């Protein structure tokens, strides 16, 4: 078994790539898919921060500098997702050799279903390599023109490298009033919009607890969107949860227990 490798990319920082990588990877693991998420932003790493691994002694930095094996930098995450964080130190970044990422991915691929790579923003050398090692690239964009313009550059670079853009994720989108809607994004980028992740306060709250939103608030709007996308990538059906169903009050539960009835 060889993993399908997706690089989660965008032209600019702040679009939500890392949050997407974490939650999409966790959602795939919840579906029973053997999944690893890897922080390839070796200069400005954030994945470990979102999941409480910022103090990890062995990270991708040590692997890329030749001081550790990839097996030593793998940590168990929620739902069984495997997490490979990058370090936070500038010294570790300076010692890292991004060209070794291809060998890392090749080693990781055996025995996994999916590998999601959180790519650095921009089109620097460190950003090119994660695009080059992917089977397919998924763009994360916000509903604004600047994000679209930068994503177009990333798409062009991906195609220059002989890779394919699977589609785009429209992140932090209002359900009705957006500067750029789903159809416009698809038209501007020339790719399918795989999913819309709505603006959801639960995402920020979950980050504060260092827990993926798909675990912390599984029926929140963003969680449902991430899970729907995971099912799409995994090729399995997705059943929308009934979020309109009101929770039964304690009094009603007590009365039902005491007096019986449905």
| 86/42 Cα distance (integer angstroms) | 6
- Domain borders along the chain are 4-259
Letter string b/e over residues 135-147, b meaning 16 or more CB atoms within 10 A of that residue's CB: bebbbbbbbeeeb
Altogether, the residues listed in the chain come to a count of 262
Residue 247 clears pLDDT 70, i.e. is over it: no
- pLDDT tens string 83-135: 999 987 766 667 888 889 999 999 999 999 999 999 998 777 778 999 999 99
Give 242's pLDDT tier (boundaries 50, 70, 90). confident
pLDDT at position 13 is 83
- pLDDT tens string 4-16: 999 999 988 889 9
pLDDT at position 222 is 97
DSSP for residue 24: H
- The reported pTM is 0.89
pLDDT at position 237 is 94
The CATH superfamily label for domain 4-259 reads P-loop containing nucleotide triphosphate hydrolases (3.40.50.300)
- pLDDT tens string 142-169: 988 889 999 999 999 999 999 999 999 9
Residue 176 clears pLDDT 90, i.e. is over it: no
Mean pLDDT of the chain: 89
Range 232-239 average pLDDT: 94
pLDDT at position 129 is 92
pLDDT at position 240 is 85
| 67/58 Cα distance (integer angstroms) | 9
| 150/119 Cα distance (integer angstroms) | 14
pLDDT at position 177 is 55
Rounded to a whole number of angstroms, the distance between the first and last alpha carbons of the chain is 48
Element (H, E) at 60: helix 60-64
Edge-to-edge strand list for the sheet holding 35-39: 75-76, 82-84, 35-39, 114-118, 4-9, 136-141, 164-173, 193-198
């Amino acid at each position: 078994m060889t993993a399908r490798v997706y690089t989660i990319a965008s032209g600019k920082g702040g679009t939500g790539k890392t949050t997407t990588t974490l939650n999409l990877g966790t959602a795939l693991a919840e579906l029973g898919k053997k999944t690893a998420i890897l922080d390839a932003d070796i200069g400005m790493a954030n994945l470990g921060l979102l999941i409480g691994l910022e103090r990890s002694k062995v990270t991708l930095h040590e692997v890329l500098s030749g001081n550790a094996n990839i097996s030593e930098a793998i940590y168990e995450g929620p739902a069984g997702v495997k997490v490979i964080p990058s370090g936070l130190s500038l010294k570790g970044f300076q010692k890292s050799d991004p060209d070794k990422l291809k060998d890392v991915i090749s080693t990781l691929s055996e025995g996994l279903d999916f590998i999601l790579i959180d790519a650095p923003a921009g089109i620097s050398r460190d950003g090119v390599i994660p695009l080059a090692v992917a089977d397919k690239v998924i763009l994360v964009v916000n509903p604004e023109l600047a994000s679209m313009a930068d994503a177009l550059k990333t798409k062009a670079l991906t195609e220059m490298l002989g890779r394919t853009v699977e589609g785009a994720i429209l992140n932090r989108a209002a359900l009705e009033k957006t500067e750029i809607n789903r159809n416009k994004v698809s038209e501007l980028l020339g790719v399918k919009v795989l999913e819309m992740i709505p603006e959801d306060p639960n995402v920020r709250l979950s980050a504060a607890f260092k827990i993926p939103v798909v675990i912390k608030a599984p029926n929140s709007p963003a969680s449902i969107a991430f899970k729907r996308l995971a099912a799409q990538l995994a090729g399995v059906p997705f059943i929308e949860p009934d979020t309109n169903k009101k929770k039964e009050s304690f009094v009603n539960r007590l009365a039902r227990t005491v007096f019986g009835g449905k």
